[in-house]
Chain A
C-alpha cells in the first residue's frame, strides 16, 4: 500500500486516481500511523514552500515522513513535495525543508540569470507545460520510460546544488532539476499524475519499489 501524505495542501484526487489506474492500493491520509504502516510514501504539494513546510511540521507529519525514509521505505516527493525534501528554500525568504536531500530551492529567474541564459528568449515564469527529460543517472524509476519523454511541469522555483541526487533535468533556458533520487528517497519536480502514460510509468516504477516480490 502507498500512503499519500495529506497535510492540507492541494487536491490529491488526481494523484490518488493515477495510482488507482496502475492498480496500486492507496491511502490518502493525515495520520502518522498510516504512513508508518505503508510500504511506500508519496509527499505531494502545491503552493508556497514556507506555508507548506509549516503545515507539514504543524501536523507532525514531517516526523512520519522522516521516519519512513529512515526505515528505508521508498519516499517520493512531487512538485512542491519534492522541493520539501531539500535542506532549504529561498521562496519568499528562507525556509528549512526536511533535509533528506542535499541542495536548496531557488527561483528559476535567478537560476536563468546565473546560467547566463539569453534574456532575448523571454522565458515565461512559471515554466508551465510539457518538457523533455534528460537523464543524468540511471535509476529504476526510469525503467519503463525513455530519455526525451515529455512530462508536465508547473513551477517557478527549482532545486539547485543537488548534483549528488540529480537523476534527470530539463532544458528551459538552462537545465532545471526535474527528477532526483538518492537511496530510497526520490522526487519529481513535474507532475507524474498529469503526465499521461509517461507519468503513469514513473509511478508504476516507484510502486514496484519496496515490494517483497520485486
Chain B
C-alpha cells in the first residue's frame, strides 16, 4: 500500500537554513546539506527546499547548495521560492530537484503551470497555495501570505490542476504557527476538488496532529512541517512509529546505510 509521506521543509536564505534549527549533537545545523542528510537518515520521505533569498548572489548560492544536496541525499527533493518562469524550473531541475513548487509566480502568470507541465511532466509541477479565510471564504494570498489576491482558493486549485499541476500543497495561514493541528476543514474542501495528491501544511504541533490528519482525511497524501521538526518537538522516527502503530501506512527506513 502506498504510504503517507512526511515532509520537512527547509527555508534557505543566503545558503543557510533559517527559522532556527535546534538539534542536540548536530553542530553546524544551519547547513542545508547536512540537515537534509540528517532528515533523510531519520526517514523523511521527501524534502522541500524553500529559497527565500532576494539577491542574485544568494540565488547562485542556493543552486550550489541544491546540487550538493542532490549529490548526497537520495530521496525526492522539491524546490520552491522565486519560481516565476520556465527558465527557473530549468535552473533548479538541472541542479537535482525532482519537483518544483510554484506559488506567487503562478498567480502572476497562470500559464506557467501548463508550460512547465508540458515541458517536464505534471508530476514535476507542484502548486503551493497559501489560503486564509476572509469573511468565511477561502482566499488565496500571495507574497508569503501578505497580499490577498481575491482569488477563491478552491476555484484556483481546480484551475491549477486543470492546467497540469501534479500535486497541491495547501498551507493554511489561519492555522500556521498556531500548533493546534492541521486545518482539517480547509483540507477536506481541497480534497473534494483536487484529484491529484494533496499535501497538508500549517498547524502541526505534535505527533497526534499528523495521526488525526491522516485518520480524518484519507484524501491527504502527505504532511509538511518545518519548525517542529527543526526544533526536535516531533522526531520523524517517532512519528513514523506512531503512524505504523495507528495503522497508517508509513515507510520506515531509519539510518540503515549501505
Contacts and interface: CB of A to CB of B under 8 A. Distances in A.
B257 A197 contact: yes
A209 interface: no
Given A129-B5, A152-B76, A195-B74, A13 B121 contact: no
B251 A124 contact: no
Interface in A149-208: 149-150, 152-154, 171-172, 193-201, 204
Interface string A122-133: 101011111110
Given A14-B98, A152-B76, A129 B197 contact: yes
Contacts of A127: 2
Contacts of A122: 219
- Contact count band on A: 35 or more
Given A193-B74, A200-B258, A201-B258, A129 B96 contact: no
B123 A154 contact: yes
A144 interface: yes
A198 B121 CA distance: 26
B79 to A, nearest CB: 13
Contact of B76 (A21, A194, A198): A194
Given A129-B197, A150-B253, A20 B71 contact: yes
A14 B2 contact: no
B216 interface: no
Interface in A114-149: 122, 124, 126-132, 144, 149
A130 B45 contact: yes
A126 B72 CA distance: 27
Contact of B221 (A13, A129, A193, A198): A129
A83 interface: no
Contact of B253 (A18, A21, A131, A196): A196
A152 B98 CA distance: 12
Contact of B123 (A20, A128, A131): A128
B253 A197 contact: yes
B251 A150 contact: yes
A13 B70 contact: yes
Interface in B1-60: 1-3, 5, 40, 45
Interface string A1-43: 0000000000101100110111000000000000000000000
A99 interface: no
B202 to A, nearest CB: 21
* Most B C-beta atoms less than 10 A away, residue of A20, A46, A47, A152: A152
Contacts of A14: 70, 74, 96, 98
B94 interface: yes
Contacts of A152: 75-76
14 contacts: A13-B67, A13-B94, A14-B74, A18-B74, A46-B121, A47-B121, A124-B196, A129-B3, A130-B251, A131-B3, A197-B253, A197-B258, A199-B74, A200-B258
Given A22-B258, A197-B256, 15 more contacts: A11-B94, A14-B70, A14-B98, A21-B72, A124-B196, A126-B166, A129-B2, A129-B221, A132-B1, A150-B251, A194-B74, A195-B74, A197-B257, A200-B74, A201-B258
